[in-house]
Structure 1
């Protein structure tokens, strides 16, 4: 890194940041080179945490140099790390190689898993919270671009991973005319091969091979040795067809990196135990996942969720998203990608917002629609794209659309404030008798803290409840009220029907945090079973037995979180 003088003259905040560190008892070292052990700290004490944020070799990008930088870093800081300490490396998600789904992506990455010492294991992958200025672009005080940056945490296996097993995963390329290759029997390891894709343009079939250690931990070196043994066996086995070879006369196979460590001495996670004890296999069962409250908090994924999805995807489970988000599909995918999710892992993504958009498009047009909106830029285009017209008057509209709770599209618009409930009820009173379509039946936000009912942050489902109360107070019978309010999303049937049409799995598990929507909706569907997750989302911190009793809903399964 830079000398103290260079750092001070290059970065505008150098002096102030240095003072903050020193005032809090920290020590600053300059001219540190992780590839040169002599420049590293000399101390009798070991470090509990060593962090390397966005490692990069200066100059034009060269992946080989960056890989060597990481390898040297892990080798040289290992003696400085306390046995129970951790190493955290922050990289853009594509740079790590952990989410590489193609050979091109893998070759373009820094192969993080191959640079780590065999004694280090990956214990978590978490989104990197960018709350400071990311400067140092090409040695200057300029920021650089990030793409889903993640913090990869490693720990020494001697302390945290005794008795653990590793799943190693790689691609095997064979001639298109070949049958599925036969794999050797290797004691202590479970080998599985699955067809991945047919690359017709180069007359090649691609298979994926999963190596699972059954009795002991599996290092990177050992995994690569087994990979080479499999290649040698397949090429020499008399039953095998000729395989494609590269210039080194070796199969063009690609290790897809360290995937996961599973404990063989402690009990499996509640999620794994649920799947295994009930024989929910990839061949019979699809996993249907809520988003907010199950996979993420609205702003970042929950801890270990990304690793969990990756593991289940590689296990060949069908993963579907079934969410009450009022966003349409493109916006949903974009939001998930920004949070660090790999969208291609999901077979289907169904949101109530997308289903509602299709429903609007099916109505005879044009209808005049009054919108309770989310405040998003597409509130109005959501209506016009479906062939309908915007009405800024609730008394003159044909349909009331409850899409969000942040902006009421009157003229001028009404933003959410302390009088929101009274503002909405006043308008609903004026428009009573109109048909209402609800794009998100959720009543409260999943991150709401339930202290008092009136303190909870409401969702469009609450607007529907207020409207139902107003219609009931006006003397309308329940059957008429039900015909006037059409809710699209869980627990109502339409969105479940979409999944049923696209996914033919005999068993569909619905994972979610809400008894009212996720559990209730799946409990009334043939072939569906509910899995209630309780540590995050709307019911967190509450008495679970009381919640089940109050809502009169009994889930099929209960687990704390959707994590391994």
Structure 2
């Protein structure tokens, strides 16, 4: 690593005195790190959820006192990689505390990765991260790391097998190995760059609304869904738009009842006027409800709309802003069923679970 010019900083939560007292290999491991290169160091008493206490985001933040005391502060502002292996709340903890730990760490670390190329790596035991969940219950029992990463503008780019090459110790605060399960995973997160290329920019405001896209499998991403209920006229003709829309001088073409009913027009509106680049949108289900079955004056077509992160992270709040914009844009072309407007999107779930959820809850949708 020295020949490659790598600067390595190894950190532990405990003080040096406590760490050396508890772990028999503490001194030798620290010596191996620091003696291999002058660019390597070991820091003690470092809380990974509060990195701003120990490091600086910019050189302007470094005071004279800091500059003279680099034992606890580093001039290096950003890291190409920040890796946290098997984070866990002290003792036998439930998911609530471990999720809080993950959330706080990602919030802290995102400010200290190199722009454009920096990554956060997190090794987790089998089942903890949630990427391998095959049911909604398994997802709910996991730590849902992709959800907390998205809250801090981080995209889950890869989930890889992880084989520890070091001794695993620190089981409940003592020098004892712990089990990581049959298939531990390495979760890799990155932060998309800033850019202004996004649809509906005036209507959508979020911490990630100005991100450019990255390359990531949609199967790793989170998705939110909602129903869209539209009213159809009795004949295949463009519907009459409201006075408010007419006065706004909306010049986009109006779609016919057939175009709205078959879903193509809805998907076009979503892709052209609602979601930014990097957000995947799908309309996997649509159903026609006749006036005779609903008791309403008009026929209804119901669509299940799905928003999914793909080249940028997706949060529930952001997805709900897309839902609101979708309703506004579609209402310019066709009336909406009034008692189904304004309902918040579903909680985020992995895209890999979407098909199963739709099949499992088919009778609950589109009624």
> How would you bin the TM-score normalised by the shorter chain?
0.5 to 0.7
Give 1 or 2 for the bigger CA radius of gyration.
1
Match of 1:29 in 2: 43
The TM-score with structure 1 as length reference comes to 0.36
**8 Å contact kept, 2:274–2:325:** no
2:175 pairs with one of 141, 145, 162: 141
- Number of aligned residue pairs: 235
The TM-score with structure 2 as length reference comes to 0.53
**8 Å contact kept, 1:52–1:89:** yes
- In the alignment, structure 1 residue 55 sits paired with structure 2 residue 87: yes
CA 1:256–1:155: 2 relative to 1, 3 Å: same
CA offsets per residue over residues 33-70 of structure 1, 9 Å max, x none?
12234543432222111001111111232212222211
**8 Å contact kept, 1:136–1:142:** yes
Q: Find the aligned partners of 2:213 and 2:312 in 1 and give their Cα distance.
A: 6
Once the 2 structures are TM-superposed, how far is the Cα of residue 149 of structure 1 from its aligned partner? 1.0
Q: Find the aligned partners of 1:142 and 1:13 in 2 and give their Cα distance.
A: 12
- In the alignment, structure 1 residue 68 sits paired with structure 2 residue 100: yes
**8 Å contact kept, 2:80–2:113:** yes
Once the 2 structures are TM-superposed, how far is the Cα of residue 227 of structure 1 from its aligned partner? 7.9
Match of 1:44 in 2: 75
CA offsets per residue over residues 313-344 of structure 1, 9 Å max, x none?
9689xxxxxxxxxxxxxxxxxxxxxxxxxxxx
Matched ranges for 1:342-491 at <5 A: none
CA 1:191–1:102: 2 relative to 1, 3 Å: same
Match of 2:164 in 1: 130
Match of 2:17 in 1: 5
CA 1:108–1:315: 2 relative to 1, 3 Å: closer
**8 Å contact kept, 2:223–2:314:** no
SS of the equivalent of 1:47 reads coil
Once the 2 structures are TM-superposed, how far is the Cα of residue 171 of structure 1 from its aligned partner? 6.8
Once the 2 structures are TM-superposed, how far is the Cα of residue 119 of structure 1 from its aligned partner? 3.2
Matched ranges for 1:42-191 at <5 A: 42-45=73-76, 46-83=78-115, 84-116=117-149, 117-147=151-181, 148-158=183-193, 162-164=212-214, 168-170=222-224, 186=270, 187-189=273-275, 190-191=281-282
SS of the equivalent of 1:169 reads strand
CA 1:30–1:112: 2 relative to 1, 3 Å: same
Once the 2 structures are TM-superposed, how far is the Cα of residue 118 of structure 1 from its aligned partner? 4.5
SS of the equivalent of 1:27 reads strand
Once the 2 structures are TM-superposed, how far is the Cα of residue 194 of structure 1 from its aligned partner? 5.2
Unmatched tracts of structure 2, length 5 or more:
1-12, 56-72, 196-210, 228-262, 276-280, 287-302, 329-335, 357-367
CA offsets per residue over residues 477-524 of structure 1, 9 Å max, x none?
xxxxxxxxxxxxxxxxxxxxxxxxxxxxxxxxxxxxxxxxxxxxxxxx
**8 Å contact kept, 2:225–2:305:** yes
CA offsets per residue over residues 141-183 of structure 1, 9 Å max, x none?
112221311111112211898344876424779xxxxxxxx99
Q: Find the aligned partners of 1:9 and 1:231 in 2 and give their Cα distance.
A: 60
Q: Find the aligned partners of 1:60 and 1:51 in 2 and give their Cα distance.
A: 23
SS of the equivalent of 1:18 reads helix
SS of the equivalent of 1:87 reads strand
**8 Å contact kept, 1:57–1:69:** yes
CA 1:208–1:134: 2 relative to 1, 3 Å: farther
2:320 pairs with one of 225, 242, 249: 225
Q: Find the aligned partners of 2:316 and 2:75 in 1 and give their Cα distance.
A: 31
Q: Find the aligned partners of 1:251 and 1:163 in 2 and give their Cα distance.
A: 25
Taking CA–CA contacts closer than 8 Å with sequence separation of 6 or more, which of the two structures ends up with the larger relative contact order? 2
Unmatched tracts of structure 1, length 5 or more:
174-181, 196-206, 242-249, 260-309, 317-564
Q: Find the aligned partners of 1:239 and 1:232 in 2 and give their Cα distance.
A: 11
**8 Å contact kept, 2:225–2:307:** no
**8 Å contact kept, 1:50–1:87:** yes
**8 Å contact kept, 1:125–1:152:** yes
SS of the equivalent of 2:180 reads coil
Q: Find the aligned partners of 1:213 and 1:58 in 2 and give their Cα distance.
A: 33
Q: Find the aligned partners of 1:10 and 1:208 in 2 and give their Cα distance.
A: 55
- In the alignment, structure 1 residue 211 sits paired with structure 2 residue 307: yes
Q: Find the aligned partners of 2:84 and 2:309 in 1 and give their Cα distance.
A: 30
**8 Å contact kept, 2:89–2:98:** yes
**8 Å contact kept, 1:192–1:211:** no
Q: Find the aligned partners of 1:231 and 1:104 in 2 and give their Cα distance.
A: 30
